[in-house]
């Protein structure tokens, strides 16, 4: 992957579009864990100053709080960044997706996105629901044509097969987001099954979950945060999106990214071998195996039960507006 | 889905009865179910089918071992086994880890004096541990089941992607199966799992002399990560007997969500080219419901099978009714521990 050093974090090509973005991306979900909006805004300011140009978000994170906070942080800096958010129809109509787009633009205080992705493709019938008549595919097409987004893509953390089925719909995606970390190499692997296909097609590959989700492997001492992040960033991806919930984590990530030198194949193989015994059954990648890490909105839209112990569900259920039906109810 | 309330209510009650205890199932409902049916079990017997290349004949419906441990009392468990045998059921499923041994103990007690009329299966639960652990479990199972040999001994819950590697590692569980067979402690050997057809195919690719393989088979499976499509033909090609389970989704999900009635769900599973359909029974009412379907059973024709698949297709398409494939819900405690997964409390779905 060609790299040029501009600012302090390496920039890489966003697929074949000619656009360049930072090799480390700012994950939008965790900004909602900042103690207050002021801190969140400061995190965004420091991230922009530190050379992060890629900003991830999603319509359904924290009932909009993360988009609002990121929008506030990017005020006056919008033209310095590549802004992405996601839409969450979860199988519902294009009109649902487009209403979400308008709301995202308002919250993010911008008239256009750089990238708009369909969030959380994880159920096996998602590709079929996406490409159907009146499905979300039509919304992506329309938003791009109207200039409300420059590029379009999809995301998911569940199963490489679902990603491949999304690609098989033939829709012209500009980007695809997926979990990429050293444990993934050995278990239902996006690295092995999806990444080569994207590079072949010139679609921008966006890595996420570089610390394998909630960092259990790091807490248990199997791997360090730095090794884990460096591994993910050394793969042939456009960027690696990582969650940032505090200034400390931001500083740590900036330090790793600013001093980033890619691992060689030998070093990567050594790490793969070291992690293999604990990777083969997916114990550190529960997002591929359990509904626990699925999105409550997606579950509801698909008719799955929800786990009321999950923090995100608790957030959701704590909202007065929630009725226990797919959100937003008026759009269903 | 039918808009007919009567149909929905009845199918729900029956579905609930099949899965046994849901919080919604009160004793009154059970009585109502019984009154509603008003049907006798026909005279005759559950047909027998051939267990793969072994040539042994087993009943087309088997009694699931897990639910044996859920039956309210020992006495009722004895009565359920006796009544099942009176109607021709001879296949008894079990596992070393079910209810800390209670399921095996009850079957052992119920089969006292009738051991030779039964085909007794149980499963070994090494979950990646070595042969020694397996052989110790075998001795314990034999003791609980009050027998000197099993008809079938299977490796339980092959559901983690690295299970095949662990099972076929030197000194692994596969060697235990062969040793037990050589020693005459088991007649036949196999494995089970509810997760992913690919894991089953990986097990089969070792060309190990399995006599049987157990898998989920139901009218939703045909649409979603299908064992029927991917594993059943491969096992059959190899002459390995197929044992069906989770005919109604594991806990009656297919029935509760209106995909199919309990009767049609059982009929579908029993019409597949499997040697038996293992169904969990925890009350006499559920046994009677099952026997009404299984006694004198005639397989559905291809058109009826297709129509049941079509009927379930929408609800089946994202796996929402087959949670054993989609979530950790049906993955047992010991397996999770051995694979260092979070506990059921930490990871409820």
pLDDT tens-digit readout, A230-273: 999 999 999 999 999 999 999 999 999 999 999 999 999 999 99
Does B327 contact A278 at a Cβ distance shorter than 8 Å?
no
Q: Name which of B198, B312, B320 to mutate to probe chain A: the one with the most chain A Cβ atoms within 10 A of its Cβ.
A: B320
A324 pLDDT higher than 70? no
User: Taking CB atoms and an 8 Å cut-off, how many pairs form between chains A and B?
Assistant: 55
- Residue B108: alpha-carbon gap to chain centroid: 18
Q: What is the pLDDT of residue A320?
A: 37
Which 3 state secondary structure label does DSSP give A151?
strand
Q: Do B328 and A289 touch (CB under 8 A)?
A: yes
8 Å CB contact of A282 and B160: yes
CB B64 within 8 A of CB B279: yes
Instruction: Choose among A123, A278, A286: nearest Cβ to B318.
Output: A123
Contact B165 A128 (CB under 8 A): no
How much of chain A exceeds pLDDT 70, in percent?
Answer: 89
- d(CA A47, CA A73) in angstroms, rounded, equals 10
pLDDT for A325? 53
> Measured between CA atoms, how close is B208 to chain A, in angstroms?
22
Q: Which of residues 82-111 of B touch A (CB under 8 A)?
A: none
| Optimal mutation site among A291, A305, A311, interface B, most CBs of chain B within 10 A | A291
User: Between B3 and B189, where is the model more confident?
Assistant: B189
* Confidence at residue A293, expressed as pLDDT on a 0 to 100 scale: 74
Secondary structure class of A82 (helix, strand, coil): strand
- Chain B: closest CA distance from residue A162 (Å): 11
Rounded to the nearest angstrom, the gap between the alpha carbon of residue B5 and the centroid of all alpha carbons in its chain is 31
Residue B341 to residue A309, Cβ atoms within 8 A? no
Q: What is the CA radius of gyration of chain B?
A: 19
The pLDDT, as a whole number, for residue A326 is 54
Cβ–Cβ < 8 Å for A213, A182 = no
pLDDT of residue A213: 77
**Cβ pair A309:B225 closer than 8 A:** no
- What's the rounded Cα separation, in Å, for the pair A189 and A170? 22
Q: Does B339 touch chain A (CB under 8 A)?
A: yes
Cβ count within 10 A of residue A138: 18
In chain A, which residue's Cα lies nearest the Cα of B320? Answer: A304
Please check whether residue A237 is in contact with residue A205, taking contact to mean a CB–CB distance below 8 angstroms: yes
Q: Which of residues 126-165 of A touch B (CB under 8 A)?
A: 126, 128
- Taking CA–CA distances from B314, the nearest residue in chain A reads A125
Question: What is the average pLDDT score of chain A?
Answer: 90
**Two structure tokens written together for A237:** 């991806």
pLDDT of B144 strictly over 60: yes
d(CA B281, CA B291): 11
Choice among A240-249, B15-24, B100-109 with the minimum mean pLDDT: B15-24
Which pTM does this prediction carry? 0.85
Rounded CA-CA distance A211/A274 in Å is: 15
Is residue B183 a contact partner of residue B177, using CB atoms and an 8 Å limit? no
Q: How distant, in Å, are the alpha carbons of A20, A284, A300 from that of B260?
A: 53, 36, 22
Q: Peptide bond before A328: cis, by omega within 30 degrees of 0?
A: yes
Task: Name the average pLDDT for chain B.
Answer: 89
* β-pairing verdict for A9-13 and A3-6: antiparallel
Segments of chain B assigned E as strands: 48-50, 57-59, 61-64, 91-92, 119-124, 150-155, 186-192, 212-216, 241-245, 276-280
- SS3 of B189-246: the string is EEEECCCCHHHHHHHHCCCCCCCEEEEECCCCCCCCCCHHHHCHHHHHHCCCEEEEEC
- Check whether A133 has a pLDDT greater than 90: yes
Q: How many Å apart are CA A288 and CA A295, to the nearest integer? A: 12
Characterise B250 by phi-psi region: left (phi > 0), alpha (psi -120 to 50), beta (else).
left
Residue A123 and residue B339: Cβ atoms within 8 Å? Answer: no
Please give the share of chain B, as a percent, with pLDDT higher than 70.
88
- Mean pLDDT over residues A64-76, rounded? 97
By three-state DSSP, how is residue B188 classified?
strand
CA gap A15, A23 in Å, rounded: 13
CB contact under 8 A, A307 and B349: yes
DSSP labels, B235-282: HHHTTPEEEEE-TT-SSSHHHHTTSS-HHHHHHHHHHSS-SEEEEE--
* B255-261 average pLDDT score: 93
Query: How far apart are the C-alpha atoms of A55 and A236, rounded to whole Å?
Result: 19
* Chain B residues near residue A302 by CB distance under 8 angstroms: 318, 320
Tell me the pairing of strands B241-245 and A20-22. Answer: unpaired
- At residue A309, the pLDDT reads 65
User: Quick one: B244 exposed, middle or buried, by C-beta within 10 A (0-12, 13-18, 19+)?
Assistant: buried
The candidate with the shortest Cα–Cα distance to B153, out of B98, B94, B106, is B94
Which of A277-281, A296-300, B143-147, B256-260 is the least confident region? A296-300
How many beta carbons lie within 10 A of that of residue B170, not counting itself?
8
Chain B interface disruption, residue of A124, A278, A312, most B CBs within 10 A:
A124
Average pLDDT over residues A3-24: 82
Q: Which residues of B touch A128 (CB under 8 A)?
A: 317
Which chain A residue has the Cα nearest residue B195?
A: A289
Nearest to A276 by CA among A223, A219, A236, A214: A223
For residue B348, name the pLDDT band (cuts at 50, 70, 90): low
In this predicted structure, what is the pLDDT of residue B166? 96
Q: Does A309 touch chain B (CB under 8 A)?
A: yes
Closest B-chain CA to A287: B327
Is B317 touching A (CB cutoff 8 A)?
yes
Per-residue pLDDT at B217 exceeds 70: yes
Give the gap in angstroms from C-alpha B171 to the nearest C-alpha of chain A: 17
With beta carbons under 8 A apart, name residues in chain A contacting B161: 187-188, 280-282
Token couple for B197: 């057809």
State yes or no: pLDDT of B1 exceeds 60.
Answer: no
Count Cα neighbours of B270 within 13 Å in the Cβ-side half-sphere. 27
Average pLDDT over residues B139-168: 97
Overall average pLDDT of the B73-101 stretch: 98
Nearest residue to A101 (alpha-carbon basis) of A91, A209, A111, A92: A111
Please say whether the dihedral angle defined by the alpha carbons of residues B294, B297, B302 and B308, taken in this order, is positive or negative.
negative
pLDDT of residue A328: 54
């Amino acid at each position: 992957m060609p790299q040029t050093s501009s600012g302090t974090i390496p920039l890489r090509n966003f697929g074949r579009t000619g656009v360049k973005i930072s090799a480390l991306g700012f994950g939008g979900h965790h900004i909602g864990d900042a103690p207050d909006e002021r801190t969140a805004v400061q995190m965004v300011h420091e991230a922009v100053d530190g050379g992060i140009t890629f900003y991830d978000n999603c319509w359904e994170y924290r009932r909009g709080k993360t988009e609002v906070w990121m929008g506030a942080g990017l005020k006056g800096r919008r033209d310095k960044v590549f802004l992405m958010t996601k839409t969450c129809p979860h199988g519902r109509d294009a009109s649902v997706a487009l209403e979400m787009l308008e709301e995202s633009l308002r919250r993010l205080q911008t008239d256009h996105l750089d990238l708009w992705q369909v969030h959380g493709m994880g159920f096996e019938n998602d590709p079929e629901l996406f490409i159907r008549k009146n499905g979300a595919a039509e919304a992506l097409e329309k938003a791009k044509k109207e200039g409300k987004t420059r590029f379009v893509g999809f995301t998911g953390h569940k199963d490489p097969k679902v990603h491949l089925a999304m690609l098989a719909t033939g829709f012209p995606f500009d980007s695809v987001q997926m979990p990429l970390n050293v444990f993934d190499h050995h278990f239902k692997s996006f690295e092995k099954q999806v990444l080569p296909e994207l590079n072949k097609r010139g679609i921008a590959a966006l890595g996420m979950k570089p610390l394998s989700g909630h960092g259990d492997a790091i807490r248990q001492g199997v791997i360090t945060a730095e090794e884990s992040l460096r591994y993910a960033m050394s793969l042939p991806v456009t960027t690696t999106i990582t969650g940032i919930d505090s200034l400390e984590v931001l500083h740590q990530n900036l330090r790793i990214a600013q001093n980033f030198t890619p691992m060689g194949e030998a070093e990567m193989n050594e790490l793969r071998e070291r992690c293999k015994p604990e990777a083969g059954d997916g114990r550190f990648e529960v997002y591929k195996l359990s509904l626990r890490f699925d999105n409550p909105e997606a579950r509801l839209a698909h008719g799955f039960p929800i786990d009321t112990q999950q923090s995100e569900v608790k957030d959701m259920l704590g909202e007065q507006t929630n009725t226990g039906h797919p959100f937003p109810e008026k759009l269903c | 889905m039918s808009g007919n309330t009567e149909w929905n209510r009845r199918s729900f009650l029956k579905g609930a009865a099949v899965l046994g205890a849901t919080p919604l199932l009160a004793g009154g409902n059970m009585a109502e179910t019984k009154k509603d049916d008003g049907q006798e079990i026909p005279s005759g017997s559950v047909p027998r089918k051939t267990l793969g290349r072994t040539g042994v004949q087993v009943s087309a419906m088997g009694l699931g071992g897990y639910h044996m441990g859920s039956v309210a009392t020992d006495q009722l468990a004895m009565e359920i086994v006796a009544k099942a045998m009176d109607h021709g059921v001879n296949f008894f499923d079990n596992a070393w880890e079910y209810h800390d041994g209670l399921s095996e103990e009850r079957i052992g007690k119920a089969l006292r004096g009738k051991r030779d009329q039964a085909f007794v299966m149980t499963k070994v639960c090494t979950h990646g541990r070595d042969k020694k652990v397996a052989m110790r479990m075998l001795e314990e199972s034999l003791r609980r089941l009050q027998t000197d040999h099993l008809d079938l001994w299977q490796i339980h819950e092959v559901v983690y992607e690295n299970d095949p590697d662990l099972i076929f590692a030197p000194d692994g569980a596969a060697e235990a199966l062969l040793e037990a067979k050589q020693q005459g402690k088991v007649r036949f050997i196999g494995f089970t799992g509810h997760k992913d057809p690919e894991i089953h195919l990986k097990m089969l690719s070792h060309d190990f002399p399995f006599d049987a393989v157990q898998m989920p088979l139901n009218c939703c499976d045909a649409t979603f990560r299908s064992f029927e499509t991917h594993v059943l033909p491969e096992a059959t090609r190899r002459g390995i007997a197929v044992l069906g389970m989770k005919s109604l989704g594991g806990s009656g999900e297919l029935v509760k969500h209106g995909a199919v009635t309990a009767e049609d769900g059982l009929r579908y599973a029993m019409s597949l080219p499997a040697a038996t359909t293992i169904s969990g029974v925890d009350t006499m009412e559920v046994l009677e419901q099952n026997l009404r379907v299984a006694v004198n059973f005639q397989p559905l024709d291809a058109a009826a099978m297709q129509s049941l698949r079509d009927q379930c297709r929408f609800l089946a398409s994202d796996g929402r009714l087959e949670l054993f494939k989609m979530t950790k819900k049906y993955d047992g405690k010991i397996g999770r521990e051995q694979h260092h997964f979070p506990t059921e409390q930490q990871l409820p779905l």
